[in-house]
Structure 1
Amino acid sequence: MFSRPRANVSVAEYAQRLRDEREQKRSSLDDRHRYFFDIIATRIGKLRSEVEDNILESPNFNLMDQFLIADGNQYLVFFYQEPEIENMQSDLDTYRPRHSSYSSRSGESGTKKITTKVIIANPNEQPLRGIFLSFIRNSKALMITEQNIAAEVCFYTFECNTGSLLEALSRSISDVYVPYLQTTAMNWGPNKDPMVKIKFIGHLNNFIDTLNSADESIKEKILLAPSQNIDLKRIKTAADYVSVASSSEYLSYIEEIMKKWIYQLEAVLAESEQIRREADDIGPRAELNYWKRRMTKFNFLLDQIKAHEVKAVLTILQTAKSKLIQTWRTLDGKITDAANEAKDNVRYLYTLEKFYEPLYNSDPVAMLEYIPGLINAVRMIHSISQYYNTSERMTSLFIKVSLSFFSSRKIMNLLEENKTIIVINIK
């Protein structure tokens, strides 16, 4: 990692030190490193020398060597994107001292013009906003050498600069890997049973559904409106609450933000109570994904409701004996009930998963072994579930489970092969 300049070091001396460190790193490079640079340069349409210079400046340069050694890291990740823009706003420009220590405003921010670069990334610490480039080892036990690197290291890439990370990953799997696995005669190991391939692709499609559901949940999340006129984080002590509640100006700000939150919660609840519109051919996977999205949405709201900012507003309004408190408590209770309902339904629907998943891929005979367990699981949900045991929901669930039988690839093929006989018998 490049060192930061000290106060007693001139800019010229610091620049020279950076050049020396970069050249020292360059001298340690070999054909294994250049193998990475060549692939990355081809992928992003840049010169290898430019990619090399970018990576030599990367603070995680040592991760390359940790990837190459025996028993080293399983993967090596690069991002091609603009680094995060530094916020140059001064702390002195954050608040309005002439009004109160609780007032706030947004200050002017300065930004640096930063070009897109290749960096060695630590995915646990750095967000992806551009192109993801990853090298993955077949085996951690072997040291990666110039002779075996082409055989032992795989390259994987996708873009998320036009959408979310989950959307990019889902698109990559569904548009590239699933079609390849479906059409390619490859070695699936010593087990020659064709169901191995069918089940694996089924699990992969299920994973795609999970990614899409998670992406939708993130897009549907509701953020409570932030306070524009008062910094709620600075209100901490009992004296602070009394001071704000005693000020008609600040109390009006607090009531304004509470009204915005009430409007948001009412809109969420109204939307959740609308009749669901579903396609006629969806199965139990869609039911589980629906309740998972609801659980995520309402849990995210509950987390915000428990935050300091909301508690501060409630305490101030309670101190001022505001009439908005009762409305908020009613909505808070409804949000909590909705979150508990979604959580409970997800828990019980997960018990069905191990029974209905095989129905998507099994042949008619193999399905028989899963049906008793499936019926018992549905019976258990009807008997125990606090929210899901209504006639309307149980009927909907049975319809979706039944559709999973006919979603089976083998049954669809069987019906297609015998459609003439079936039509004759119907007549």
Structure 2
Amino acid sequence: MSGTSHPDSTGDPSPMADNVPTDRGAVGRRGSKFHRSGSCVQAVQETMKEKQARYKESREARKKLLTSGHKYIFEILADRLSLELQAVEEFVLDAPSLAPFDDFFAKGGSKTIAFVYQETEVPGIECGRTFPGTAKGAIIMRLFLANLSETCLTGLCPFFVRTKIDVPVNIKNIHEEIYFSMLDAAEGLLKGTRNLLSKIMMPAVCATENWGALNQSKHGEKDKQNFKDTITRYIHFLDACIEGTVQLKTASNIEFARLVSFEDVKAAAADVDMVHQLEEALMMWYKQIEQVLTESDQMRKEADASGPLTELEHWKRMSAKFNSIIEHIKGPECKAVVNVLNINRSKTLKVWRELDARITDCANEAKDNVKFLYTLEKVCQPLYNCDPVTMAKSIQNLINAIRMIHSVSQYYNTSERMTSLFIKVTNQMVTACRAYITDNGTSGIWEQDTQDIIKKIQVIDDGIKNMVNSTPDLH
């Protein structure tokens, strides 16, 4: 029969002959799949190349926007950071936009422009260049434009400041209009800020002779001194925070890198020697924290003439101290120790949890007290900066603020703390009156004309009478 063959016919020696066309079709289909896959990879590669080209083109466009003003800033950065000028320019061009420079140079623009020089991840292809020899996620030293509110500062922060924004900055006036400084946060942001204020800003303020209109003002010297005193108080506060920060000891005999996964924690909980080491570490931290709590409960030693703002400074220091302990408790090392001992059901956890609750309560108290005492900061300023008459007019506002604290505060509303606060208010009023009579300590009572002294005393007496009459709470 023509046109038909069977599997067992002598014309087809292979029993699989009928399947041959089908197999070839499958091979064809697989080949088409591989072809399409290769095409997709090629398309992705082409897209990546297009992106790289576009980013590189944007970078070149940014480079063309650089002016002599930019180069002036680059030169200062290169000199102070010991970098090549070309390296500084390349780092700055990594940013997606030069808008911060435009804002800084413009009339009515920003008063500051800040940079950060520290270790950070290698930027992606969007910067418009590559970093040969570095893997994705690698860490390198970089200089970059920074939004300081969104940057964790651990290195150097060079910045430029404008004192006036009524004229645009250009190459002709840039030497006079902008000022450079740098904050070193390598040892912590608090210490870096303290060093910047105490070693650079404060000496510059004290050396300044031209204070503009204040030099001709009647109260110019007092205003200048008040400004210096404010900076000095803040520096002292930073010193207290730095000294008060609690650094718990490091358990150097424990490999915390081996206590990351749940399997690691379970294995450690079954190891008697490891559990013993972790219990020792936990009790070491326990004793340190217990000592801090004991010291905080002891009687405070303060100057007899301390004013109300020292109360705010005290609770700021306490808040910094307790928060530094809580940061350690919430840290990975302490959490790893607690997790292991929790699985092991160690008895040491009972006293640790009690201590954790106590330190948390102390931190909440300090935070709450700082929040409410901040309301006194503004209404207390007349006690520090004004003459007795103006000071007396502000007492009602101060009394209202203290009444609010007593009514609303969860922790500060005790009789002991209210009494201590009123004593500090009285101390500062006496200090202000003494400064008024002695012209801020420059003239003794017996060195002045008798009639002048009598007039000053009368002013103080009138101020006290007005204060009492206008403040029903004091009757």
Query: TM-score normalised by the shorter chain: which range applies?
Result: 0.5 to 0.7
**For the residues of structure 2 that align with 1:123 and 1:161, how far apart are their CA atoms?**
16
Distance apart, 1:292 and its partner CA: 0.9
Give the match for residue 177 of structure 1.
Answer: 205
Name the residue aligned to 1:167.
Answer: 194
Letter in 1 for 2:344: A
For residues 421 and 119 of structure 2, the distance between their equivalents in structure 1, rounded to whole angstroms, comes to 46
SS of the aligned residue for 2:113 comes to: strand
**Mapped partners of 2:277, 2:267: distance in 1:** 13
Change (3 A) 1:193 1:418: same
Match for 2:174 among 140, 149, 157? 149
CA contact (8 A) 1:282 1:400 kept: yes
Note if 1:279 corresponds to 2:306. no
CA distance in 1, matches of 2:353, 2:157: 45
Please tell me whether the aligned partners of residues 233 and 309 of structure 1 are also in contact (alpha carbons under 8 angstroms).
no
Q: Which has the larger radius of gyration?
A: 2
Gaps of 5+ in 1: 1-21, 87-113
Q: Which residue of 2 aligns with 1:56?
A: 89
Give the 3 Å change call, closer, same or farther, for CA 267–56 of structure 1 in structure 2.
Answer: same
1-structure distance, mates of 2:413, 2:202: 35
Deviation of the 1:70 alpha carbon: 4.5
Q: Do the aligned partners of residues 215 and 34 (structure 1) sit closer, same or farther apart at CA in structure 2, a change above 3 Å counting? A: same
Q: Give me the whole-angstrom Cα distance separating, in 2, the residues matched to 1:308 and 1:37.
A: 40
1:186 is aligned, of 197, 212, 217, to 212
Superimposed CA distance per residue, residues 104-150 of structure 1 (whole angstroms, 9 cap, x where no aligned partner)? xxxxxxxxxx9xx99555363474645835253843984x4334434
Shift in alpha-carbon separation, 1:137–1:367, aligned structure 2, 3 A: closer
Displacement, 1:362? 0.8
How many angstroms does 1:306 deviate by?
3.6
Alpha-carbon distance between aligned partners in 1 of 2:239 and 2:426, rounded to the nearest angstrom: 27
Residues 1:35 and 2:61 are matched in the alignment: no
Classify the secondary structure of the residue corresponding to 2:212. Answer: coil
Matches within 5 A, 1:60-79: 60=93, 66-68=100-102, 70=106, 74-77=111-114
Q: Provide the TM-score with structure 1 as the length reference.
A: 0.67
Give distance in 1, aligned partners of 2:443 and 2:197. 33
Aligned pairs for 1:359-374 (under 5 A) are: 359-374=383-398
Residue 257 of structure 1 is aligned with which of 272, 275, 281? Answer: 281
| Alignment partner of 1:419 is 2:419 | no
Determine which structure has greater relative contact order: mean sequence separation of CA pairs < 8 Å that are 6+ residues apart, divided by chain length.
Answer: 1
> Over aligned residue pairs, what C-alpha RMSD do you find?
4.4
CA distance in 1: counterparts of 2:340 and 2:250, whole angstroms: 16
In 2 relative to 1, CA 316–169 (structure 1 residues): closer, same or farther, beyond 3 Å? same
SS at match of 1:58: helix
Q: CA deviation at 1:261?
A: 1.5
Q: Out of 289, 292, 296, which is 2:316 matched to?
A: 292
Matched residue, 1:3: none
**What does 1:177-326 align with in structure 2 at a 5 Å threshold?**
177=205, 180=208, 183-187=209-213, 202=226, 205-206=229-230, 209-210=233-234, 212-214=236-238, 216-228=240-252, 229-231=254-256, 234-237=259-262, 241-307=265-331, 309-326=333-350
% same residue = 32
Shift of 1:255: 1.0
TM-score w.r.t. the length of structure 2 is 0.61
In the alignment of these two chains, the number of paired residues is 361
**Alignment correspondent of 1:403:** 427
